[in-house]
Structure formats: C-alpha cells, structure tokens
Structure 1
Amino acid sequence: MPDITTLPSYPHEDDGVEAIPTHPLGVKPSGNALLASWTLRDAIGTFRVLPDELILSLLEELDSASLLCIGRTCKAFYAFTRAEEVWKALFIRSSVEDFTWRGTWRSTYLNLPPTKVPTIDCSHLYSDALYRPFNCAHISLDPYVTKIPLRNQIPRLADLSKDEFHSTWADRPFILTDPVKEWPVYKNWTVGTLLSRYGQGKFRAEAVDWPLRAYADYMADNADESPLYLFDRSFVSKMGLAVGQPDQTPNAAYWPPACFVEDFFSVLGDKRPDHQWLIVGPERSGSKFHKDPNATSAWNAVLRGPKYWIMFPSGEKRDPPPGVFVSDDQSEVTSPLSIAEWLLNFHAEARRTPGCMEGICGEGEILHVPSGWWHLVVNLEPSIAITQNFIPRAHLTAALDFLSNKADQVSGFQKDVVNPYQNFVDGMQAAYPDLLERAQHDLQKKAEGRKQKWDEIVHGKAGEAEPAVPEGGFSFGFGDDGSDVEVP
C-alpha cells in the first residue's frame, strides 16, 4: 500500500465572504422592490404581466437590430436587452467567424469598443433574473473550496502500480502527485506557449470553434456566470502530438500513468468513441455535475491552474447529489444553471451528505474519476488540463451493461459505428476472451437478480401466502394465472 501524502493548504479569507460589487447598470435583487416607492418595470406596459425569465427567453429569439430598437424604448428594456445570455445566444446562433473579443458578448457581436458602450442608470429596476447571473459571476469561491472536512478529503498518493490500482483503488477517487511531472507537456505548456504555436488554430469551446488566440482574449476578460469552456476532442491530431509510453513512442508529449494503462476500449481501434480532450478555461469555468460517458472511468491531469472537485458515488439505493435531479432512466440530468448557483444553494448540504468526496488537484497532479461517480469541477485559476476516459477490468461489466441496455444513451461513436455493443464484444472476444466471458457471466447474474427482484415485487417471495382479500375488496394483483404482466 502506497503512503498517502498530506493535503496541501490553500490560502483563504478568514473574514467572511468578499463583497459583491455593484451591478454595472445598478440593477438590484427583486426583494429590494418591497421598500421601493416605484420601479422602472412600470414603464414596460403590458409586458409587466410576464415573468422576467420569460421576457429574457423572448428576447433571445430576436435579431440584433430588434434588440437595439427595444432597448431604446425605456431603461427597463435597455437593461433586459443588455443581458449577456441574450447576446451569447445570438452570437452562437449567428456563427460569427471574424471577430475581436471585446469583453462582453454584446460588445463583441456589435464590435463596440468600451468607449462606445453607454452606462445608463437602471438602479430602480429590481430583477433576480438580471441580478443573479451578475452575483454568481462575482461570488468568492474560497469559502466553498477550503476547510474541507477530513472525512471528505480525496486521498492523495505519490503514485500507484497497476496491481495496486486494480486491487484497491479502481472504485475510489484519488489524486496522484508525481507521474504528470514527467510529461513534456507539463514542463512546456502555458497559455503563452500554446498561443505561440497554435494561436491561429481552431479549437472547440462548447458550441463554437474559435481560434485559440480569440479564446485566450476571452479567458483574460469576461464576466460570464458560466464561462465558455474549451473542451477539444481532436487536439492530438490538430497539434500533431505523439501520445504513448516514452519507451515505445518517440517524442511522446504525454502518456497515461502506469495504473491507468489498461483500457479495454482500445480493442475498438479507430472505432472507439471520443476519449481524450484538451481542456482550457478561465477561473470559475468548469463542469456541472455529470457522470462520464458509456460507464467509463477517467483521469484528469492538471498542467496549469488548480481545480476543485466534489464527487459522489452512485447506485440504485443512492440519491443523486443535492440539487441534482435525474429522470427515471438517468438519460436527463437537471441542476442549477451554473456552478456558482449550485455552490450558493447546495454546497453546504452536499458537504454533509454521506459519500461526499472533495479535493483540489494542483498543477502537475492527476485525479481519478471511477466509473459511475457524479462529479463537479471548477477552475480556481486559468487552467490547462488533459483528460482521458478508459475502461479498466473492474468496470468492464458496467461498460458492457451500459452499451447493451442503454443504447440510446451511448455517445461519442462515429456515425458509421451502428452497433457499439457488438463491436466491443467482438473486439474483446478477439483480444481478451477469458475476461469477456467472466464479465458476461457477471452481467447475466446481475440481470437475473433484477428479474428475481421484479418477480418478488409482483408475486411475493417464494413460500409466502397470498394475503386474504375480503369479498368485494381491492387486490393489487395481476390475475389468478400468475402470469407476468408488464406494468408501465
């Protein structure tokens, strides 16, 4: 068993939460209207009957000329048409190619330098829909990422062997402090060096493909509640990188640590789903609660800028994290609009929830995300990271189960791969027939267990007498013939 190193300390404010600055237009939370004698909202006429959120949704459907016209009618509509999410939606929908980032989505779309943006006093407008994003964009992260309870701390290890990982750690989050420090990309990559080599190259940032130089300008100057996150799946080919163990791959840029080398999705060759990403983002950017695709595990290596992680195991008897709501088939996940909003409303409860794991993964460190674990991550500083999904033997059965029984949720495969499950089974049969047979046996036992539980629910446990039902009374049964009936 490797030694567990001590958790590093990060500076934090002891004097409480930092004050939120004044909204640039003077907008205040809606509660302030209770003491106000009048409000700018009175000037919007019939639109007063609509909730602020609906007004913003309607504005998102308009073009720029219409937004500017409506914004000139009164101060209230000026404030509504200055909402950044409205202009972000318009920018993305319009697929603007040649642009200069000018600090806000509105100024960038209209190509307005700061001196051309008027400051209008809207201090008598009270709107949570307008104030909340500004508030969330300026909260201090420090109270949420420091003073982590001892029981919640993600273990920190220097390194792990392949055998130690499989025997003890495959189902547990942990942080390795040593392996990444050997990578050339850790030693050489900064935002500056990436710009000098790939500044004109386009990389995927959520719904847009931007030149890296434009994205770096955005990183340095934005006030988004949920900053745009560069998450590019094709960076290895775009950047001409060699990836592999250094003793086998000349000029390797990076390679998985020894404990993560085993990856059964590799049997698919060039038909494997997306599995490696370059991640770049400013402070406050990150990912809301999710599980990794296709029941895979993952590692996330930080090259620049620390990341805060909060994680929860999942299972049939476990609820999702506080503030997260999941559909019955787990295909749809609903959570607060932004990471900051979740932190404000649910972090304290989450920290008290059994199973909660938290940690800060610093520069040159790598974090393991076991298959099926919920996780939220936020950058504490401008960040560069590389992540990769993989299937170790401990989660081979889970991957087969997912590919077979949740085909509608399988993701990342190319369109010409019509049957990912069968392709994976064929690849495993050719390369690892014994492991495949064992995993399929475990999967069959799991399926039989599910059927047995269902039979017990429908018919009762074997040997139990049917409860007597008074004549004319109600019976929660499905007939006298004992046949299985599908219940919707």
Structure 2
Amino acid sequence: MGLKIEGEVEKVDGKRLSYTDFVEKYLVQNRPVILTGLMDNWRACKDWVLDNGDPNLPFFSKYFGNSGVQVADCGTKEFTDQKRVEMSVFEFIDQWTQLSATRKDSGTDGNSLLYLKDWHFVKEYPDYVAYSTPKFFCDDWLNLYLDKYPMHNDPDTCQNRNEISCSDYRFVYVGAKGTWTPLHADVFRSYSWSANVCGRKQWYFLPPSQCHLVFDRHMKSSVYNIFEEVCKSKFTGFEEAIWCECTQEQNEIIFVPSGWYHQVHNQEDTVSINHNWFNGHNISWVWDLLLREYHEASEYIEDIKDICDDFEGLCQRNLAANAGMNFYDFFIFMVRFSFANLVLLCNLTSDKKNLSWSSSQVVPHVIFNLKSIQCIALKMKSTGQWENCGVAIDLKKTMEDQTFMEFCNLMARTYGAMYEQSEMKADAKEALLEDMELRFLDFSGSRIGTPEDLVTFIDCALKLS
C-alpha cells in the first residue's frame, strides 16, 4: 500500500530567522520546519562525531559507558510501542559494534537493531555542556519547571520512578542505520525539536486535521507502522491520509508541532538531541489531552465507582501513570508558573532605573503567558473536579521559598537571553516583596486552591500591566 505524499517540510536558515517570525510562522500556525545553521560550536558536534561523519562510539563508551539507558528493539512490538530493554551505554555500544561487524554490507532492514532512546543526558551529566538550546525553543515551560520542581508531589505516584526518569524531557537518541520510531504524536501533545548531530533521518508527517484517519473507528488505537500492511477493515480511513515527508541531514534541527503524528527512520547511523516542550502557544493541547485521558481512565474503572472510597483519587493516580501528570500536577504547575510571571512583571514594571525593561518585548510576552494560562484555568473550572481536592498554594509562603525564587530567576535569565537582555533578574529583595503585597497579594488573596482562584489571581495580575 503506497502512501499519498503531497507535501514537504520547509527548510530555513535559522541564522536569518527572527524569533518573532518563528513564532508567527511556525508556533502560531503549528507548522513543521527544518532549521539550519544553529548547531555551530556545539561540543556534541565535535566530541560525538568522527572525522568521516560516523558516531564516535568509543567516546560514548569511554565517558558515558556506565549510564543505564532504555533501548528499543526495533523488530519487536510490545503493546503500542517497540519493546524496551535496559542496559548500560557500554553494553549498547558493544552490541551495536558486534552487529555491525556481522551485517556489514548485508543490506539489513534494521528489524533486529537496537535503538537507544530517551536518554536523560542533560540531567545525568549537567557539567558536560553538549549543546545550547536555540532561542526559538527556549520558551520551554516544561523543562524550565522541572529543573526546579518534580512534576508529581504524590509519593504513591512517584514510588516506581527513579530520580532521573521523570526529571526532564531532554533526550539523546543513538541508533544505527535502519533503526526507526513507530507512528506517534509526542508526549503531552507537546512541541518537540530534534537536532541531528550526525547521520540522516527520514520523517513522515500527518497534520492534526487528518490524524483521525490513522485510528480505528473507536479512536482507541492507531496504526503502528505506516509501511506494513494496514488492515482496511480496522483502519478504514488510512488510504485517504495525505502525508508530507522530509529528509533531515546532519547539523539540521527539525521542529515538530503539537498533534502532528509522525514516523521516523534513520537512513544512516545517527545521533540526535531531542526536547519535548510546551508554552503559552500550545498549552491548550496539553489540557485537552489530560481531559481526554482522564475520561478514558475514569470510564475504564467505572464499574468499581460505588465500592471505591476515593474513586476520584484513583482516577487521578491512573491519569498520572498513563499521561505523565494529572489534573492536580498540572494545576500546581500553572499556579507556580503564573506567580513567577507576576514576579517578573513586577520587576519589569517597577524598575525605574532601567526603562528599557518595561518597554521591552518581555512585558508583552509575560502578559501573553498569563492570558494563556487564564484561558486554560477557565476550561479547568468547568470540569468540576476541584471540591475537596486538597490542592492549595500559599503565595506569601511561596515568595519566601528559595526554590521558587531560583525558579523566577531562571525564568528571567531565559527571557532575558531570548530578547537579548542578559542582565535581567527576578529580584527577591525585601522591598519588592513588600511592594507586591501592597500592590497585589492583599488585594487578590494569598491562597490559590481552585481554577476559579487562578482566574481571579490572573485578573489582578493583568491590572498591573
């Protein structure tokens, strides 16, 4: 069965693209793009690549060999993904080297090959600066938050997760020619970006407007491999799907928008760096997914509702296990992020010595962030899952928390770098805290425990602008 391919992904020189143009053309329109010229001076492009362009496998074994990683068996399907096995980087490289020796020039299709995926390299090796995130992808609420806070506060949710596995969504992938990733949309329906340090990838994309065509009639399961024989009676719309494809070369970065299903094949031995991320432009995708997953989780255990002492709590625990976060995780995330944006806004609008701050592009960016979160809070308010949920953030205590102020400063540095205001800082001086209490907290209330509280909070915050 041949695919209908009628489009290609645009390729743009990243050095000639402004941040504003990237937002307008690709984030707002939710369009994929390949960016070139953004990987100059990356340490990874020197250390991880041999002179002939192949991955420097001995380097990985020597310096990172003890890392425990998840490796996908590209020839074995397990549930909806490839089977994963755990091994060290050294073991993975050793197996790769042995397989390469036996299959050289044999034209293997890669079905028996192993593919190292989702390696949390940045968290594991924070002092080894392999790359710098391009400015187009720096407004990364997900990883910015996870650098200071865990996503889950419930110990029952976290008990089977080690410190590294849920700590961020920044990954390294390493795979031989022929390794591949099945058809999927990214976690949380986030954006993602993927940079080829070496090698070549072939991408096949399906836009969100057509994604229903790769699902069964019940919208429960999707096609696994678009190049295998697809059951026409189960996936009745598959032949109608119109795909676009592109080839990603070495030193190119691809931007994958929210909700685009994609399948990826390594055409050469490849090493890539990948981030999942979201911000104010696609936060609605995250909430819509959580709401959909919540309904599925609650329907699955509906038959025990009458005998379960805490049915809602069980639904939320299952949601966190299935989706990566639940309603309460997401709500706490949004409250902290809103409050950090308010702290930054207060700095920007009260700094009399540096008027360029208050007139800079950071102010409308922060206001946009707050409005985006408020829109989601209004949606959350309508779900009715917030009575007696036990979730509340005390803003005055939060202001006294060192971790929160570190989070605010991290956000300020990030936006300062994006808009070339490197001296920007979220000042935690006592005078600012007192000013915020007088101007804001005493007026808005100091505790946020429901989406309605968050809506009111943001209303008050926006009056400062």
Specify the TM-score bucket, using the shorter chain as the normaliser. Answer: 0.5 to 0.7
Question: Unpaired runs of 5+ in structure 2?
Answer: 49-55, 73-83, 152-165, 298-318, 343-366, 384-465
8 Å CA contact retained: 1:304, 1:363: yes
- Counterpart in 2 of 1:376? 263
Q: Percent identity?
A: 22
Inter-partner Cα distance in structure 2 for 1:351 and 1:152: 16
Residue 310 to residue 275, structure 1, CA distance change in 2 (3 Å): same
CA drift of 1:370 comes to 0.4
Corresponding residue to 2:35 among 157, 162, 176: 176
Inter-partner Cα distance in structure 2 for 1:179 and 1:279: 19
Structure 1 residues 318-356: Cα deviation after superposition (integer angstroms, max 9, x where no partner): 3445xx32574x5x43424x56526999xxx989844x2
- Counterpart in 2 of 1:165? 22
CA drift of 1:413 comes to 8.2
Residue 432 to residue 209, structure 1, CA distance change in 2 (3 Å): same
Inter-partner Cα distance in structure 2 for 1:285 and 1:342: 19
- Counterpart in 2 of 1:393? 280
Structure 1 residues 92-149: Cα deviation after superposition (integer angstroms, max 9, x where no partner): xxxxxxxxxxxxxxxxxxxxxxxxxxxxxxxxxxxxxxxxxxxxxxxxxxx99xxx96
- The answer to whether structure 1 residue 211 and structure 2 residue 99 are counterparts is no
The amino acid that maps onto 2:372 is: A
Corresponding residue to 2:137 among 260, 263, 269: 260
Corresponding residue to 1:298 among 167, 192, 196: 192
- Counterpart in 2 of 1:202? 68
- The answer to whether structure 1 residue 333 and structure 2 residue 221 are counterparts is yes
| Length-normalised TM-score, structure 1 | 0.51
Structure 1 residues 158-203: Cα deviation after superposition (integer angstroms, max 9, x where no partner): 1033211211111110111111233110122022321232234432
Size of the alignment, in residue pairs?
A: 283
Question: Unpaired runs of 5+ in structure 1?
Answer: 1-142, 243-250, 451-488
Structure 1 residues 273-321: Cα deviation after superposition (integer angstroms, max 9, x where no partner): 5411111111121211111111210001111110000111114xx3445
Residue 201 to residue 397, structure 1, CA distance change in 2 (3 Å): closer
The amino acid that maps onto 2:37 is: D
Inter-partner Cα distance in structure 1 for 2:35 and 2:269: 21
8 Å CA contact retained: 1:404, 1:421: no
Residue 428 to residue 403, structure 1, CA distance change in 2 (3 Å): farther
- Matches of residues 115-194 of structure 1 in structure 2 within 5 Å? 151-159=6-14, 160-170=17-27, 171-189=30-48, 190-194=56-60
CA drift of 1:443 comes to 4.3
8 Å CA contact retained: 2:338, 2:373: no
Residue 342 to residue 157, structure 1, CA distance change in 2 (3 Å): farther
Q: CA RMSD in A?
A: 3.7
8 Å CA contact retained: 1:183, 1:254: yes
Inter-partner Cα distance in structure 2 for 1:393 and 1:167: 13
Inter-partner Cα distance in structure 1 for 2:206 and 2:95: 32
> Which has the larger share of strand?
2
Inter-partner Cα distance in structure 2 for 1:307 and 1:350: 23
SS of aligned partner of 2:276? strand
| Length-normalised TM-score, structure 2 | 0.53
Inter-partner Cα distance in structure 2 for 1:267 and 1:196: 32
- Matches of residues 9-48 of structure 1 in structure 2 within 5 Å? none
SS of aligned partner of 1:219? helix
8 Å CA contact retained: 1:225, 1:340: no
SS of aligned partner of 2:9? coil
Residue 196 to residue 448, structure 1, CA distance change in 2 (3 Å): closer
Inter-partner Cα distance in structure 1 for 2:193 and 2:259: 13
Inter-partner Cα distance in structure 1 for 2:374 and 2:116: 41
CA drift of 1:387 comes to 0.4
Which one has the largest radius of gyration?
A: 1
Residue 217 to residue 412, structure 1, CA distance change in 2 (3 Å): farther
Inter-partner Cα distance in structure 1 for 2:229 and 2:372: 38
The amino acid that maps onto 2:149 is: D
- Counterpart in 2 of 1:50? none
8 Å CA contact retained: 1:298, 1:388: yes
The amino acid that maps onto 1:335 is: V
